[in-house]
Amino acid sequence: MDQLSYTQGRQDKPLLAMTIGQAFDNTVARFPDGEALVVRHQQLRYSWRELAVLVDVHARALQALGLECGDRLGIWAPNCAQWCIAQFASARIGAVLVNINPAYRSSELEYVLKQSGCKWLISAGAFKSSDYHAMLNGLIPELAEHPVGQLQSAVLPDLRGVISLEALPPAGFLPWKQLAALASEVSEDDYQARQRSLQFDQPVNIQYTSGTTGFPKGATLSHYNILNNGYMVGESLGLTEQDRLVIPVPLYHCFGMVMGNLGCMTHGSTMIYPNDAFDPLLTLTTVAEERATALYGVPTMFIAMLDQPERPQMDLSSLRTGIMAGAVCPIEVMRRVITDLHMSEVQIAYGMTETSPVSLQTGPTDELELRVSTVGRTQPQLESKIIDSLGCIVARGQIGELCTRGYSVMLGYWGNPQATAEAIDPARWMHTGDLATMDAQGYICIVGRNKDMIIRGGENIYPRELEEFFFTHPAIADVQVIGIPDEKYGEEVVAWIKFHPGHSASEAELQLWCKQRLAHFKTPRYFRFVDEFPMTVTGKVQKFKMREISIEELGRVKR
């Protein structure tokens, strides 16, 4: 009988049966004078003891605003010290932090605030081209008319007020600098009683997944979900109180707030934010000047850093590890990260928001080939399986849908039991929608999304395979492969190409190069040369937008 595509992760690492607040207390007690947080663009540095003081003051202040256990607190801001403080402070009092994408506009903001029932919102004043204050005043014109904390909004009936990170916000906003003064309204006894009442299985975070169709869904995550996932990621990286992790990925996403903040907190490591948003040069400069030992990023971020002209002159030798995740990690890019960025122990992590996020990870002792060709093995205390269209587990080496089960699977989609039931089956398996294979040793390779697979003339084409192939071309820095409708073949292949600085190739040259090395049906019919890909704030490429653009440009009817 063939070996089935099912594995369990290691069982020898016990899970943390505690709240985020309790874990934070443990770290502060162990490393009070260790450096906890460095925020370069705000020129702020805090030890664990200093950060604890700020967290406690702001937690009591949030409690004074009337936030009860289970109430939702929205945060709409780029990376900053206040984001980190709010994350730990809200967890302290049992509030559910609702992460809001900094790129959202008014209609998206309204939907998330209303769907989650946010009671309070923490907001930046502006970010990039977005004027948050103006959008909020347009959405909630009553804001300036009511005393702070007593908002009565027709559009957002649950919302009681907005905390602004600006020192001098418009009328109706509560400035962050004035928030701490409210802490005195809550006694130490009441504050401690609130913390003692919390359970680790209670929700602590809602993250809205950026679906390609319909409204985003709020993945609801517990203390147990995200505390343990951050801890297990850090364990795989071998983090200690000596490590210094640069976090250029957004905090509103699991990569930043779970794998970054909670991964560091559970190990006493230093959290370092190089900027409010990703900048390749600032990130490299931060690594060099802070003598960072670890670095996070999605493939597009690492490609941008590798292509920085100033990089060869920088001393990045302090780096040893990190994670590349959030999208399929190209083999050639991983090889350059290991050699050019000195990240000899870099790992790949795979997951999704709904699984807190990581369910698969390579290890520090894995052979190079496994670290560049797979997304690793099942994380400790989790299970993985690969199934066919009937739900049966396939044999090792066969393609099927990847499913995961264990402590990391979300509580459900907030206020959406139907979507929850569609994603999590009665046996508590989370269906990822990703196509994968599992080898004899349990290493898993992602071959694409169910929806991304291209069927041309009856032949199945997996974009991941073609993307890896294109990375072997010396002129190509990044590539994305999609399918578009075709009357004759059903679908045709389109490759979006981004060249290294100073390099280029024509469509005819690339087609000839492909035909000499690929089966004919895999050779892209069309090429599009670009400087950037459409992507989310987290650096995930939006293939559905690329498909829409390609269809429009090529004059085809969208189906």
pLDDT tens digits, one per residue of 427-461: 999 999 899 999 999 999 988 777 787 878 767 78
More confident residue, 121 or 366: 121
Order of all β-strands in the sheet with 490-499: 476-486, 490-499, 526-529
> What is the per-residue pLDDT across 2-58, written as a single tens digit (0 to 9) for each?
799 999 999 999 999 999 999 999 999 999 999 999 999 999 999 999 999 999 999
Given a contact cutoff of 8 angstroms between Cβ atoms, the answer to whether 323 and 299 are in contact is no
Averaged pLDDT for residues 397-402: 95
pLDDT given at position 261: 98
Lowest pLDDT segment from 467-481, 483-497, 534-548: 534-548
pLDDT given at position 405: 98
The three-state secondary structure class of 389 is coil
**H/E stretch holding 550:** helix 543-553
Lowest pLDDT segment from 194-198, 207-211, 510-514: 207-211
- pLDDT of 213 > 70? The answer is no
β-pairing, 217-222 vs 203-209, is antiparallel
d(CA 444, CA 435): 10
Instruction: Tell me which residue of 87, 140, 115 sits closest to 415, measured CA to CA.
Output: 115
d(CA 182, CA 56): 12
Please give the biggest Cα pair distance in the chain: 75
The set of residues, in sequence order, having a beta carbon less than 8 Å from that of 391 and lying 6+ positions away, is none
The three-state secondary structure class of 526 is strand
pLDDT given at position 556: 55
d(CA 505, CA 76): 42
Q: What percent of the chain has pLDDT over 90?
A: 79
pLDDT band at 538, cuts 50/70/90? low
> What is the per-residue pLDDT across 476-490, written as a single tens digit (0 to 9) for each?
999 999 999 887 777
Q: Structural domain boundaries of the chain? A: 49-217, 454-553
pLDDT given at position 368: 81
**Cα angle vertex 555, ends 552, 559, to 5°?**
70
pLDDT given at position 446: 87
The set of residues, in sequence order, having a beta carbon less than 8 Å from that of 389 and lying 6+ positions away, is none
Enter the tokens of residue 477. Answer: 């820095």
- pLDDT of 212 > 60? The answer is no
Lowest pLDDT segment from 382-386, 433-437, 541-545: 541-545
Enter the tokens of residue 317. Answer: 């030798």
d(CA 171, CA 88): 28
Given a contact cutoff of 8 angstroms between Cβ atoms, the answer to whether 494 and 526 are in contact is yes
pLDDT given at position 328: 63
Topology of 49-217 in CATH?
Rossmann fold (3.40.50)
On the question of a common fold for 49-217 and 454-553, the answer reads no
Enter the tokens of residue 214. Answer: 């319909």
- Which residue's entry shows tokens 């957004």? 250
Q: Determine the CATH number of domain 454-553.
A: 3.30.300.30
Number of neighbours of residue 255 by Cβ within 10 angstroms: 27
pLDDT given at position 558: 44
Lowest pLDDT segment from 392-401, 424-433, 541-550: 541-550
β-pairing, 490-499 vs 476-486, is antiparallel
In this prediction the pTM is 0.86
pLDDT band at 215, cuts 50/70/90? confident
For residue 521, the 8-state DSSP code is G
The per-residue pLDDT of the chain, averaged, comes to 93
β-pairing, 44-47 vs 161-164, is unpaired
Averaged pLDDT for residues 404-408: 98
Given a contact cutoff of 8 angstroms between Cβ atoms, the answer to whether 361 and 236 are in contact is yes
> What is the per-residue pLDDT across 288-321, written as a single tens digit (0 to 9) for each?
999 999 999 988 899 899 999 999 999 999 999 9
The three-state secondary structure class of 214 is coil
Give the ranges where 330-412 is alpha helix by DSSP (H).
Answer: 331-340, 368-373
β-pairing, 244-246 vs 294-297, is parallel
Strands, E, within 67-179: which ranges? 72-76, 96-99, 118-123, 126-127, 130-131, 161-164, 174-175
> What is the per-residue pLDDT across 320-369, written as a single tens digit (0 to 9) for each?
999 998 766 777 788 899 999 999 999 999 999 999 999 999 998 898 88
Enter the tokens of residue 11. Answer: 């069982």
Instruction: Tell me which long-range contacts 171-178 makes (C-beta under 8 A, separation of at least 24).
Output: 171/143, 171/144, 172/143, 172/144, 172/145, 172/146, 172/148, 173/123, 173/133, 173/143, 173/148, 174/148, 174/149, 176/82, 176/122
In total, the chain counts a number of residues equal to 559
Instruction: Tell me which residue of 437, 446, 507, 498 sits closest to 471, measured CA to CA.
Output: 498
The set of residues, in sequence order, having a beta carbon less than 8 Å from that of 428 and lying 6+ positions away, is 405, 409
d(CA 464, CA 329): 9
d(CA 195, CA 259): 24
Which amino acid, one-letter code, is at 142? E
DSSP string, 440-501: TTS-EEEEEETTT-EEETTEEE-HHHHHHHHTTSTTEEEEEEEEEEETTTEEEEEEEEEEPT
Averaged pLDDT for residues 137-152: 94
pLDDT given at position 488: 75
- pLDDT of 169 > 70? The answer is yes
- Which residue's entry shows tokens 């046996």? 427
pLDDT band at 559, cuts 50/70/90? very low
- pLDDT of 219 > 70? The answer is yes
Helices 20-30, 81-92: inter-axial angle, 10-degree rounding: 120
Instruction: Tell me which residue of 124, 126, 47, 52 sits closest to 91, measured CA to CA.
Output: 52
d(CA 389, CA 400): 8
d(CA 122, CA 125): 10
> What is the per-residue pLDDT across 247-280, written as a single tens digit (0 to 9) for each?
999 999 999 999 999 999 999 999 999 999 999 9
Given a contact cutoff of 8 angstroms between Cβ atoms, the answer to whether 163 and 177 are in contact is no
Given a contact cutoff of 8 angstroms between Cβ atoms, the answer to whether 498 and 478 are in contact is yes
pLDDT band at 383, cuts 50/70/90? very high
d(CA 92, CA 88): 6
Supply φ then ψ for residue 91, to 5 degrees. -65, -35
